[in-house]
Structure 1
Amino acid sequence: MLQKRNTLWGLFFIGPQVIGLIVFALIPLLYALVLSFMKWDGFGERTFVGFSNFTSQFYNPDFWKALVNTVYYMILTIPIGIAIALILATALNKVAGKEFYRIFFFMPVVTSSVSVGVIWMWILNGDFGILNQLLSYIGITGPHWLTDTKWVMPSIALLSIWWGLGYNMVIFLAGLQGISKSYYEAAEIDGASVLQKFRYITLPLLTPTTFFVTIMSVISSFQVFDQAFVMTNGGPAKASYTLVFHIYDQAFIDFTFGKSSAAAMILFVMILVFTLLQFRFQKRWVHYGD
Protein backbone atom coordinates (compact mmCIF):
# COMPACT_ATOMS: atom_id res chain seq x y z
CA MET A 1 0.00 0.00 0.00
CA LEU A 2 2.79 2.39 0.94
CA GLN A 3 4.70 1.60 -2.25
CA LYS A 4 1.58 2.23 -4.34
CA ARG A 5 1.03 5.54 -2.59
CA ASN A 6 4.64 6.61 -3.20
CA THR A 7 4.29 5.66 -6.86
CA LEU A 8 1.14 7.76 -7.19
CA TRP A 9 2.84 10.75 -5.56
CA GLY A 10 5.82 10.32 -7.85
CA LEU A 11 3.54 10.31 -10.91
CA PHE A 12 1.75 13.35 -9.53
CA PHE A 13 4.95 15.37 -9.28
CA ILE A 14 6.50 14.32 -12.59
CA GLY A 15 3.17 14.49 -14.45
CA PRO A 16 3.35 18.21 -15.36
CA GLN A 17 6.90 17.79 -16.67
CA VAL A 18 6.00 14.75 -18.75
CA ILE A 19 2.89 16.44 -20.15
CA GLY A 20 4.91 19.56 -20.98
CA LEU A 21 7.57 17.45 -22.69
CA ILE A 22 4.98 15.65 -24.80
CA VAL A 23 2.92 18.72 -25.71
CA PHE A 24 5.69 21.26 -26.26
CA ALA A 25 8.57 19.06 -27.47
CA LEU A 26 7.67 15.61 -28.79
CA ILE A 27 4.47 16.52 -30.66
CA PRO A 28 6.02 19.59 -32.38
CA LEU A 29 9.08 17.49 -33.27
CA LEU A 30 6.93 14.79 -34.88
CA TYR A 31 4.83 17.42 -36.65
CA ALA A 32 7.96 19.09 -38.03
CA LEU A 33 9.22 15.71 -39.22
CA VAL A 34 5.96 15.07 -41.12
CA LEU A 35 5.92 18.61 -42.48
CA SER A 36 9.49 18.26 -43.79
CA PHE A 37 8.13 15.91 -46.47
CA MET A 38 5.39 18.35 -47.49
CA LYS A 39 5.08 21.47 -49.58
CA TRP A 40 3.05 24.02 -47.63
CA ASP A 41 2.88 27.81 -47.49
CA GLY A 42 1.01 27.86 -44.19
CA PHE A 43 -2.43 28.44 -45.66
CA GLY A 44 -3.23 26.08 -48.56
CA GLU A 45 -3.22 22.35 -48.99
CA ARG A 46 -0.23 20.27 -47.98
CA THR A 47 1.39 18.36 -50.84
CA PHE A 48 3.69 15.39 -50.30
CA VAL A 49 7.03 16.00 -52.06
CA GLY A 50 9.22 13.28 -50.55
CA PHE A 51 12.85 14.18 -49.92
CA SER A 52 12.90 17.20 -52.26
CA ASN A 53 12.81 19.62 -49.30
CA PHE A 54 15.96 17.99 -47.93
CA THR A 55 17.83 17.88 -51.24
CA SER A 56 16.93 21.51 -51.92
CA GLN A 57 18.80 22.51 -48.76
CA PHE A 58 22.05 21.08 -50.05
CA TYR A 59 21.68 23.10 -53.27
CA ASN A 60 20.79 26.26 -51.38
CA PRO A 61 23.82 28.57 -50.91
CA ASP A 62 22.10 30.21 -47.93
CA PHE A 63 22.12 26.88 -46.09
CA TRP A 64 25.87 26.48 -46.55
CA LYS A 65 26.47 30.11 -45.62
CA ALA A 66 24.46 29.58 -42.44
CA LEU A 67 26.35 26.37 -41.65
CA VAL A 68 29.76 28.01 -42.07
CA ASN A 69 28.72 30.96 -39.91
CA THR A 70 27.38 28.65 -37.21
CA VAL A 71 30.56 26.56 -37.12
CA TYR A 72 32.64 29.76 -36.99
CA TYR A 73 30.53 30.96 -34.09
CA MET A 74 31.06 27.64 -32.29
CA ILE A 75 34.83 27.87 -32.74
CA LEU A 76 34.82 31.39 -31.32
CA THR A 77 32.58 30.78 -28.32
CA ILE A 78 32.98 27.24 -26.98
CA PRO A 79 36.74 27.03 -26.14
CA ILE A 80 37.01 30.63 -24.91
CA GLY A 81 33.74 30.53 -22.97
CA ILE A 82 34.59 27.27 -21.20
CA ALA A 83 38.15 28.38 -20.39
CA ILE A 84 37.06 31.73 -18.89
CA ALA A 85 34.26 30.07 -16.90
CA LEU A 86 36.69 27.50 -15.49
CA ILE A 87 39.25 30.13 -14.53
CA LEU A 88 36.62 32.28 -12.80
CA ALA A 89 35.13 29.30 -10.99
CA THR A 90 38.57 28.24 -9.77
CA ALA A 91 39.28 31.76 -8.52
CA LEU A 92 35.90 32.14 -6.80
CA ASN A 93 36.11 28.73 -5.17
CA LYS A 94 38.68 30.04 -2.71
CA VAL A 95 37.14 33.39 -1.79
CA ALA A 96 34.49 34.33 0.71
CA GLY A 97 31.04 35.35 -0.47
CA LYS A 98 30.63 32.75 -3.21
CA GLU A 99 26.85 33.22 -3.11
CA PHE A 100 27.12 36.92 -3.96
CA TYR A 101 29.46 36.30 -6.89
CA ARG A 102 27.28 33.50 -8.20
CA ILE A 103 24.28 35.84 -8.26
CA PHE A 104 26.36 38.63 -9.81
CA PHE A 105 27.71 36.50 -12.66
CA PHE A 106 24.43 34.63 -13.17
CA MET A 107 22.28 37.75 -13.64
CA PRO A 108 22.94 38.06 -17.41
CA VAL A 109 21.80 34.45 -17.91
CA VAL A 110 18.27 35.24 -16.71
CA THR A 111 18.10 38.54 -18.61
CA SER A 112 15.96 38.49 -21.76
CA SER A 113 17.75 38.14 -25.08
CA VAL A 114 16.15 41.30 -26.46
CA SER A 115 17.35 43.39 -23.52
CA VAL A 116 20.86 41.98 -23.80
CA GLY A 117 20.91 42.55 -27.57
CA VAL A 118 19.79 46.17 -27.29
CA ILE A 119 22.37 46.95 -24.60
CA TRP A 120 25.18 45.39 -26.62
CA MET A 121 24.07 47.22 -29.77
CA TRP A 122 24.81 50.41 -27.87
CA ILE A 123 28.12 49.09 -26.49
CA LEU A 124 29.30 47.92 -29.93
CA ASN A 125 28.09 50.91 -31.94
CA GLY A 126 30.92 51.89 -34.28
CA ASP A 127 30.33 55.65 -33.96
CA PHE A 128 29.46 56.32 -30.32
CA GLY A 129 29.65 52.92 -28.62
CA ILE A 130 31.27 52.67 -25.22
CA LEU A 131 33.71 49.95 -26.35
CA ASN A 132 35.21 52.13 -29.09
CA GLN A 133 35.33 55.04 -26.66
CA LEU A 134 37.39 52.96 -24.25
CA LEU A 135 39.67 51.79 -27.05
CA SER A 136 40.23 55.39 -28.15
CA TYR A 137 41.71 56.19 -24.74
CA ILE A 138 44.62 53.85 -25.50
CA GLY A 139 45.05 55.04 -29.07
CA ILE A 140 43.07 52.28 -30.85
CA THR A 141 40.43 53.09 -33.43
CA GLY A 142 37.70 50.52 -32.99
CA PRO A 143 35.94 49.05 -36.05
CA HIS A 144 32.26 49.18 -36.86
CA TRP A 145 31.61 45.98 -34.96
CA LEU A 146 28.10 45.18 -36.18
CA THR A 147 28.32 46.50 -39.72
CA ASP A 148 31.68 45.04 -40.73
CA THR A 149 31.53 41.52 -42.17
CA LYS A 150 34.86 40.65 -40.53
CA TRP A 151 33.86 41.73 -37.04
CA VAL A 152 30.14 41.01 -36.78
CA MET A 153 30.43 37.33 -35.84
CA PRO A 154 33.25 37.92 -33.29
CA SER A 155 31.05 40.67 -31.83
CA ILE A 156 28.11 38.30 -31.43
CA ALA A 157 30.47 35.68 -30.01
CA LEU A 158 31.74 38.22 -27.45
CA LEU A 159 28.18 38.94 -26.35
CA SER A 160 27.37 35.22 -26.12
CA ILE A 161 30.47 34.44 -24.04
CA TRP A 162 29.52 37.17 -21.58
CA TRP A 163 25.87 36.13 -21.59
CA GLY A 164 26.51 32.44 -20.89
CA LEU A 165 29.53 32.89 -18.63
CA GLY A 166 27.53 32.81 -15.40
CA TYR A 167 25.82 29.51 -16.22
CA ASN A 168 29.04 27.69 -17.05
CA MET A 169 30.81 29.24 -14.09
CA VAL A 170 28.14 28.09 -11.62
CA ILE A 171 28.30 24.55 -13.02
CA PHE A 172 32.09 24.50 -12.71
CA LEU A 173 31.89 25.95 -9.22
CA ALA A 174 29.55 23.15 -8.18
CA GLY A 175 31.97 20.61 -9.64
CA LEU A 176 34.92 22.16 -7.81
CA GLN A 177 33.11 22.06 -4.50
CA GLY A 178 32.54 18.35 -5.00
CA ILE A 179 36.29 17.65 -5.07
CA SER A 180 37.57 16.45 -1.69
CA LYS A 181 40.08 18.75 -0.01
CA SER A 182 42.12 15.72 1.02
CA TYR A 183 43.58 15.52 -2.50
CA TYR A 184 44.95 19.04 -2.26
CA GLU A 185 46.22 18.48 1.29
CA ALA A 186 48.13 15.39 0.17
CA ALA A 187 49.56 17.30 -2.79
CA GLU A 188 50.72 20.14 -0.53
CA ILE A 189 52.51 17.65 1.68
CA ASP A 190 54.32 16.37 -1.42
CA GLY A 191 55.28 19.93 -2.33
CA ALA A 192 53.04 20.38 -5.36
CA SER A 193 52.70 23.90 -6.72
CA VAL A 194 49.39 25.63 -7.47
CA LEU A 195 49.70 24.85 -11.18
CA GLN A 196 50.57 21.23 -10.48
CA LYS A 197 47.51 20.82 -8.26
CA PHE A 198 45.35 22.36 -10.94
CA ARG A 199 46.88 20.18 -13.66
CA TYR A 200 46.93 16.84 -11.87
CA ILE A 201 43.98 17.13 -9.45
CA THR A 202 41.46 19.77 -10.49
CA LEU A 203 41.33 19.13 -14.22
CA PRO A 204 41.08 15.29 -14.08
CA LEU A 205 38.44 15.30 -11.34
CA LEU A 206 36.51 18.04 -13.11
CA THR A 207 36.25 16.20 -16.45
CA PRO A 208 32.63 15.03 -15.89
CA THR A 209 31.61 18.65 -15.30
CA THR A 210 33.65 19.79 -18.31
CA PHE A 211 31.97 17.13 -20.42
CA PHE A 212 28.51 18.36 -19.40
CA VAL A 213 29.39 22.01 -20.03
CA THR A 214 30.86 21.14 -23.43
CA ILE A 215 27.74 19.27 -24.52
CA MET A 216 25.45 22.09 -23.42
CA SER A 217 27.69 24.66 -25.12
CA VAL A 218 27.67 22.75 -28.41
CA ILE A 219 23.88 22.44 -28.38
CA SER A 220 23.47 26.11 -27.48
CA SER A 221 25.90 27.21 -30.21
CA PHE A 222 24.03 25.27 -32.88
CA GLN A 223 20.85 27.07 -31.83
CA VAL A 224 22.18 30.65 -31.83
CA PHE A 225 19.54 33.02 -33.17
CA ASP A 226 18.39 35.73 -30.75
CA GLN A 227 21.62 37.70 -30.78
CA ALA A 228 21.87 37.86 -34.56
CA PHE A 229 18.17 38.58 -35.00
CA VAL A 230 18.10 41.49 -32.56
CA MET A 231 21.48 43.04 -33.32
CA THR A 232 22.12 42.51 -37.04
CA ASN A 233 19.10 40.75 -38.59
CA GLY A 234 21.57 38.29 -40.11
CA GLY A 235 23.68 40.95 -41.79
CA PRO A 236 25.74 42.56 -43.05
CA ALA A 237 25.77 40.53 -46.27
CA LYS A 238 24.54 37.53 -44.22
CA ALA A 239 27.80 37.44 -42.26
CA SER A 240 25.80 36.63 -39.10
CA TYR A 241 23.26 34.40 -40.84
CA THR A 242 23.02 31.19 -38.78
CA LEU A 243 21.24 27.87 -39.23
CA VAL A 244 18.32 28.80 -36.98
CA PHE A 245 18.09 32.13 -38.80
CA HIS A 246 17.89 30.17 -42.05
CA ILE A 247 15.06 28.07 -40.63
CA TYR A 248 13.25 31.22 -39.49
CA ASP A 249 13.69 32.92 -42.87
CA GLN A 250 12.29 30.01 -44.82
CA ALA A 251 9.29 29.68 -42.52
CA PHE A 252 8.26 33.25 -41.78
CA ILE A 253 9.77 35.24 -44.64
CA ASP A 254 9.51 32.86 -47.62
CA PHE A 255 6.55 30.89 -46.17
CA THR A 256 8.04 27.58 -47.28
CA PHE A 257 7.27 25.64 -44.14
CA GLY A 258 8.23 22.31 -45.65
CA LYS A 259 11.74 23.48 -46.49
CA SER A 260 12.02 25.16 -43.11
CA SER A 261 11.04 21.93 -41.35
CA ALA A 262 13.55 19.99 -43.46
CA ALA A 263 16.30 22.41 -42.45
CA ALA A 264 15.21 22.02 -38.81
CA MET A 265 15.42 18.23 -39.11
CA ILE A 266 18.91 18.51 -40.59
CA LEU A 267 19.93 20.71 -37.67
CA PHE A 268 18.41 18.20 -35.25
CA VAL A 269 20.40 15.36 -36.81
CA MET A 270 23.61 17.42 -36.70
CA ILE A 271 23.16 18.18 -33.00
CA LEU A 272 22.33 14.53 -32.32
CA VAL A 273 25.42 13.31 -34.20
CA PHE A 274 27.72 15.77 -32.43
CA THR A 275 26.28 14.80 -29.05
CA LEU A 276 26.63 11.07 -29.74
CA LEU A 277 30.23 11.57 -30.90
CA GLN A 278 31.01 13.41 -27.70
CA PHE A 279 29.54 10.56 -25.66
CA ARG A 280 31.48 8.10 -27.82
CA PHE A 281 34.86 9.72 -27.18
CA GLN A 282 34.25 10.76 -23.57
CA LYS A 283 35.86 7.55 -22.28
CA ARG A 284 39.22 8.81 -23.48
CA TRP A 285 39.27 11.90 -21.29
CA VAL A 286 36.37 11.82 -18.80
CA HIS A 287 37.21 10.19 -15.46
CA TYR A 288 34.30 9.30 -13.17
CA GLY A 289 34.67 8.45 -9.53
CA ASP A 290 37.79 8.56 -7.42
Structure 2
Amino acid sequence: MQTGQIIRALSGFYDVQSEHKIYRTRARGNFRKRKITPLVGDFVEFESESQTESGYILEILERKNEMIRPPVANIDQAVVIVSAVEPDFSLNLLDRFLIYLESLNIQGLVYLTKTDMISDEKYQAIKQSLDYYEKVGYPIFAPRTAFTPEIIQAIEDTFPDKTTVFTGQTGAGKSTLLNHIDPKLNLATAEISQSLNRGKHTTRHIELIPLNDGLVGDTPGFSSLGILNVTSETLVSRYPEFREIGQDCKFRTCQHVMEPKCAVKAAVDAGEIMQSRYTNYLQFRAELKDIRPVYKKSK
Protein backbone atom coordinates (compact mmCIF):
# COMPACT_ATOMS: atom_id res chain seq x y z
CA MET A 1 0.00 0.00 0.00
CA GLN A 2 1.21 3.49 -0.88
CA THR A 3 0.14 7.05 -0.12
CA GLY A 4 -0.12 9.93 -2.54
CA GLN A 5 -2.21 12.87 -3.71
CA ILE A 6 -4.76 12.93 -6.52
CA ILE A 7 -3.64 15.48 -9.10
CA ARG A 8 -6.09 14.71 -11.93
CA ALA A 9 -9.59 13.24 -12.29
CA LEU A 10 -10.98 12.32 -15.70
CA SER A 11 -13.61 9.81 -16.89
CA GLY A 12 -13.61 7.76 -13.69
CA PHE A 13 -9.81 7.55 -13.43
CA TYR A 14 -7.67 9.29 -10.81
CA ASP A 15 -3.99 10.07 -11.34
CA VAL A 16 -2.16 9.88 -8.03
CA GLN A 17 1.25 11.46 -7.47
CA SER A 18 3.47 9.57 -5.06
CA GLU A 19 7.20 10.24 -4.63
CA HIS A 20 7.34 12.15 -7.94
CA LYS A 21 5.71 9.29 -9.85
CA ILE A 22 2.18 9.23 -11.34
CA TYR A 23 -0.12 6.21 -10.95
CA ARG A 24 -3.43 5.74 -12.79
CA THR A 25 -6.10 4.46 -10.37
CA ARG A 26 -9.81 3.85 -9.92
CA ALA A 27 -11.87 4.20 -6.77
CA ARG A 28 -12.85 0.95 -5.03
CA GLY A 29 -16.40 -0.19 -5.68
CA ASN A 30 -17.51 0.32 -2.09
CA PHE A 31 -16.84 4.07 -2.37
CA ARG A 32 -20.13 4.49 -4.21
CA LYS A 33 -22.01 2.52 -1.56
CA ARG A 34 -20.39 4.70 1.11
CA LYS A 35 -21.32 7.81 -0.94
CA ILE A 36 -17.69 8.90 -1.07
CA THR A 37 -16.30 10.70 -4.12
CA PRO A 38 -12.53 11.23 -4.43
CA LEU A 39 -11.54 14.80 -5.22
CA VAL A 40 -8.51 16.29 -6.89
CA GLY A 41 -6.20 17.26 -4.03
CA ASP A 42 -7.19 14.31 -1.83
CA PHE A 43 -4.42 12.48 -0.03
CA VAL A 44 -5.12 8.77 -0.45
CA GLU A 45 -3.94 5.29 0.31
CA PHE A 46 -3.77 3.21 -2.87
CA GLU A 47 -2.30 0.06 -4.32
CA SER A 48 -0.77 -0.31 -7.76
CA GLU A 49 1.65 -2.90 -9.09
CA SER A 50 3.16 -0.52 -11.64
CA GLN A 51 2.72 2.87 -13.29
CA THR A 52 1.53 1.20 -16.49
CA GLU A 53 -1.33 -0.77 -14.89
CA SER A 54 -4.42 0.66 -13.26
CA GLY A 55 -4.44 0.49 -9.47
CA TYR A 56 -7.11 1.17 -6.85
CA ILE A 57 -7.69 3.89 -4.27
CA LEU A 58 -8.27 2.13 -0.95
CA GLU A 59 -8.96 5.03 1.38
CA ILE A 60 -9.22 8.81 1.36
CA LEU A 61 -7.33 10.46 4.20
CA GLU A 62 -8.92 13.24 6.25
CA ARG A 63 -9.35 16.49 4.35
CA LYS A 64 -8.31 19.79 5.90
CA ASN A 65 -10.74 21.60 3.61
CA GLU A 66 -12.91 21.04 0.56
CA MET A 67 -13.93 23.65 -1.97
CA ILE A 68 -17.41 23.35 -3.44
CA ARG A 69 -16.68 25.52 -6.43
CA PRO A 70 -14.41 24.20 -7.78
CA PRO A 71 -14.45 20.74 -6.12
CA VAL A 72 -10.85 20.51 -4.86
CA ALA A 73 -9.54 19.32 -1.49
CA ASN A 74 -6.62 20.29 0.75
CA ILE A 75 -5.98 23.72 -0.72
CA ASP A 76 -3.43 25.98 0.95
CA GLN A 77 -3.99 29.14 -1.06
CA ALA A 78 -6.11 30.49 -3.91
CA VAL A 79 -5.11 33.17 -6.39
CA VAL A 80 -8.31 35.05 -7.17
CA ILE A 81 -8.07 36.55 -10.65
CA VAL A 82 -10.01 39.79 -11.06
CA SER A 83 -10.19 41.73 -14.29
CA ALA A 84 -9.91 45.49 -14.58
CA VAL A 85 -12.29 45.41 -17.55
CA GLU A 86 -14.12 42.85 -19.75
CA PRO A 87 -15.50 41.61 -17.40
CA ASP A 88 -15.69 44.76 -15.31
CA PHE A 89 -13.89 44.98 -11.98
CA SER A 90 -16.23 44.11 -9.10
CA LEU A 91 -15.44 44.52 -5.39
CA ASN A 92 -18.70 42.76 -4.59
CA LEU A 93 -17.66 39.61 -6.44
CA LEU A 94 -14.18 39.78 -4.93
CA ASP A 95 -15.64 40.01 -1.41
CA ARG A 96 -17.91 37.04 -2.08
CA PHE A 97 -15.01 34.82 -2.99
CA LEU A 98 -12.72 35.99 -0.20
CA ILE A 99 -15.49 35.26 2.31
CA TYR A 100 -15.72 31.75 0.86
CA LEU A 101 -11.96 31.25 1.19
CA GLU A 102 -12.00 32.54 4.77
CA SER A 103 -14.63 29.93 5.67
CA LEU A 104 -12.26 27.19 4.48
CA ASN A 105 -9.13 28.67 6.06
CA ILE A 106 -7.56 29.16 2.62
CA GLN A 107 -5.19 32.09 2.13
CA GLY A 108 -6.50 34.39 -0.57
CA LEU A 109 -4.22 36.23 -3.00
CA VAL A 110 -5.54 38.69 -5.60
CA TYR A 111 -4.19 39.19 -9.13
CA LEU A 112 -5.50 42.07 -11.27
CA THR A 113 -5.46 41.47 -15.03
CA LYS A 114 -6.07 43.58 -18.17
CA THR A 115 -4.62 46.72 -16.59
CA ASP A 116 -3.17 47.69 -19.97
CA MET A 117 -6.74 48.19 -21.25
CA ILE A 118 -7.73 50.97 -18.82
CA SER A 119 -6.75 54.57 -18.20
CA ASP A 120 -4.28 55.62 -15.54
CA GLU A 121 -7.13 57.23 -13.60
CA LYS A 122 -9.17 54.03 -13.49
CA TYR A 123 -6.11 51.97 -12.65
CA GLN A 124 -5.27 54.20 -9.70
CA ALA A 125 -8.85 53.96 -8.42
CA ILE A 126 -8.79 50.15 -8.55
CA LYS A 127 -5.29 50.01 -7.08
CA GLN A 128 -6.36 52.21 -4.17
CA SER A 129 -9.13 49.74 -3.35
CA LEU A 130 -6.80 46.75 -3.63
CA ASP A 131 -4.24 48.46 -1.37
CA TYR A 132 -6.86 48.23 1.38
CA TYR A 133 -7.18 44.46 0.84
CA GLU A 134 -3.44 44.09 1.11
CA LYS A 135 -3.51 46.01 4.39
CA VAL A 136 -6.02 43.53 5.88
CA GLY A 137 -4.02 40.46 4.86
CA TYR A 138 -4.53 39.58 1.19
CA PRO A 139 -1.35 39.75 -0.96
CA ILE A 140 -2.04 41.83 -4.09
CA PHE A 141 -0.51 41.55 -7.56
CA ALA A 142 -1.61 44.49 -9.69
CA PRO A 143 1.04 45.24 -12.35
CA ARG A 144 0.45 48.27 -14.54
CA THR A 145 2.11 46.36 -17.38
CA ALA A 146 0.67 42.88 -17.83
CA PHE A 147 2.72 39.74 -17.16
CA THR A 148 6.15 41.25 -16.57
CA PRO A 149 8.91 38.77 -15.64
CA GLU A 150 9.07 40.36 -12.18
CA ILE A 151 5.38 39.83 -11.42
CA ILE A 152 5.44 36.27 -12.78
CA GLN A 153 8.41 35.50 -10.54
CA ALA A 154 6.60 37.04 -7.57
CA ILE A 155 3.62 34.73 -8.14
CA GLU A 156 5.86 31.68 -8.59
CA ASP A 157 7.61 32.47 -5.33
CA THR A 158 4.35 31.70 -3.49
CA PHE A 159 4.11 28.13 -4.89
CA PRO A 160 6.76 26.05 -3.02
CA ASP A 161 5.35 23.42 -0.66
CA LYS A 162 1.77 24.58 -1.26
CA THR A 163 -1.27 23.46 -3.21
CA THR A 164 -2.57 26.52 -5.04
CA VAL A 165 -5.64 27.04 -7.20
CA PHE A 166 -6.21 29.84 -9.67
CA THR A 167 -9.83 30.87 -9.72
CA GLY A 168 -12.07 33.81 -10.47
CA GLN A 169 -14.59 35.23 -12.89
CA THR A 170 -14.87 33.61 -16.30
CA GLY A 171 -12.81 35.49 -18.86
CA ALA A 172 -10.67 37.31 -16.28
CA GLY A 173 -7.49 35.63 -17.52
CA LYS A 174 -6.70 32.66 -15.28
CA SER A 175 -5.47 30.39 -18.05
CA THR A 176 -3.63 33.25 -19.77
CA LEU A 177 -1.71 33.97 -16.58
CA LEU A 178 -0.81 30.31 -16.11
CA ASN A 179 0.38 30.13 -19.72
CA HIS A 180 2.77 33.00 -18.96
CA ILE A 181 3.99 31.20 -15.84
CA ASP A 182 4.62 28.00 -17.80
CA PRO A 183 4.20 28.28 -21.62
CA LYS A 184 4.39 24.48 -21.96
CA LEU A 185 0.93 24.23 -20.39
CA ASN A 186 -0.72 25.73 -23.49
CA LEU A 187 -4.05 26.09 -21.66
CA ALA A 188 -7.04 27.10 -23.76
CA THR A 189 -8.27 30.69 -23.57
CA ALA A 190 -11.39 32.31 -24.95
CA GLU A 191 -12.68 35.67 -26.12
CA ILE A 192 -15.13 37.74 -24.07
CA SER A 193 -18.79 37.74 -25.04
CA GLN A 194 -19.45 41.41 -25.76
CA SER A 195 -23.21 41.05 -25.26
CA LEU A 196 -22.84 39.48 -21.80
CA ASN A 197 -19.55 41.11 -20.74
CA ARG A 198 -18.23 37.77 -19.56
CA GLY A 199 -15.98 35.04 -20.86
CA LYS A 200 -16.68 31.61 -22.20
CA HIS A 201 -15.72 28.67 -20.02
CA THR A 202 -12.48 27.13 -21.30
CA THR A 203 -11.27 24.98 -18.40
CA ARG A 204 -13.20 21.69 -18.60
CA HIS A 205 -11.61 19.63 -15.85
CA ILE A 206 -9.57 20.14 -12.72
CA GLU A 207 -5.92 19.24 -12.58
CA LEU A 208 -3.04 20.02 -10.25
CA ILE A 209 0.20 20.72 -12.12
CA PRO A 210 3.66 20.51 -10.51
CA LEU A 211 5.16 24.01 -10.67
CA ASN A 212 8.08 25.48 -8.71
CA ASP A 213 8.04 22.81 -5.98
CA GLY A 214 4.29 23.08 -5.48
CA LEU A 215 1.03 21.97 -7.08
CA VAL A 216 -1.01 24.51 -9.05
CA GLY A 217 -4.49 24.16 -10.50
CA ASP A 218 -6.49 26.06 -13.11
CA THR A 219 -10.20 25.78 -12.38
CA PRO A 220 -13.45 26.46 -14.24
CA GLY A 221 -14.51 30.09 -13.88
CA PHE A 222 -17.86 31.52 -12.88
CA SER A 223 -20.01 34.40 -14.09
CA SER A 224 -21.71 34.89 -10.72
CA LEU A 225 -21.22 33.60 -7.19
CA GLY A 226 -23.57 33.18 -4.28
CA ILE A 227 -22.56 33.29 -0.64
CA LEU A 228 -21.04 29.85 -0.10
CA ASN A 229 -20.33 27.95 3.11
CA VAL A 230 -21.43 30.72 5.47
CA THR A 231 -24.50 31.78 7.47
CA SER A 232 -25.75 35.19 8.52
CA GLU A 233 -24.36 34.44 11.99
CA THR A 234 -20.88 33.36 10.85
CA LEU A 235 -20.52 35.98 8.10
CA VAL A 236 -19.09 38.54 10.52
CA SER A 237 -16.10 36.30 11.30
CA ARG A 238 -15.15 36.05 7.60
CA TYR A 239 -13.86 39.64 7.54
CA PRO A 240 -10.32 39.79 9.00
CA GLU A 241 -10.59 43.48 9.85
CA PHE A 242 -13.98 42.96 11.53
CA ARG A 243 -12.49 40.21 13.68
CA GLU A 244 -9.69 42.47 14.83
CA ILE A 245 -11.54 45.76 15.31
CA GLY A 246 -14.66 43.99 16.63
CA GLN A 247 -12.78 43.05 19.78
CA ASP A 248 -13.41 46.62 20.95
CA CYS A 249 -17.19 46.41 20.48
CA LYS A 250 -19.34 46.74 23.62
CA PHE A 251 -20.97 43.35 22.99
CA ARG A 252 -18.91 40.22 22.36
CA THR A 253 -21.50 38.89 19.86
CA CYS A 254 -21.86 42.22 18.06
CA GLN A 255 -23.00 41.82 14.44
CA HIS A 256 -22.07 45.44 13.61
CA VAL A 257 -25.53 46.45 12.41
CA MET A 258 -27.76 48.08 15.03
CA GLU A 259 -25.79 47.51 18.22
CA PRO A 260 -24.63 50.51 20.28
CA LYS A 261 -20.94 51.30 20.81
CA CYS A 262 -19.91 49.19 17.80
CA ALA A 263 -16.21 49.60 17.04
CA VAL A 264 -16.63 48.34 13.46
CA LYS A 265 -19.28 50.93 12.56
CA ALA A 266 -17.12 53.61 14.17
CA ALA A 267 -14.16 52.44 12.05
CA VAL A 268 -16.30 52.65 8.90
CA ASP A 269 -17.32 56.22 9.80
CA ALA A 270 -13.69 57.09 10.45
CA GLY A 271 -12.57 55.68 7.10
CA GLU A 272 -10.50 52.92 8.69
CA ILE A 273 -12.73 50.24 7.13
CA MET A 274 -13.51 50.67 3.44
CA GLN A 275 -17.14 51.65 2.92
CA SER A 276 -17.73 49.08 0.16
CA ARG A 277 -16.60 46.26 2.46
CA TYR A 278 -19.23 47.24 5.02
CA THR A 279 -21.92 47.88 2.39
CA ASN A 280 -21.29 44.46 0.87
CA TYR A 281 -21.40 42.91 4.35
CA LEU A 282 -24.89 44.32 4.90
CA GLN A 283 -26.01 43.13 1.47
CA PHE A 284 -24.66 39.63 2.09
CA ARG A 285 -26.46 39.47 5.46
CA ALA A 286 -29.70 40.34 3.70
CA GLU A 287 -29.12 37.68 1.05
CA LEU A 288 -28.34 35.04 3.67
CA LYS A 289 -31.53 35.89 5.52
CA ASP A 290 -33.43 35.73 2.23
CA ILE A 291 -34.35 39.38 2.59
CA ARG A 292 -34.09 41.66 -0.36
CA PRO A 293 -31.95 44.64 0.58
CA VAL A 294 -33.72 47.99 0.54
CA TYR A 295 -31.81 50.96 -0.78
CA LYS A 296 -33.03 54.45 0.11
CA LYS A 297 -32.64 57.18 -2.44
CA SER A 298 -30.40 59.96 -1.28
CA LYS A 299 -32.17 63.29 -0.94
Common fold by TM > 0.5: no
Which structure has more helix as a fraction of its residues?
1
Which structure has more strand as a fraction of its residues?
2
What TM-score do the two structures reach when normalised by structure 1?
Answer: 0.22
Higher CA-based Rg: 1
What TM-score do the two structures reach when normalised by structure 2?
Answer: 0.21
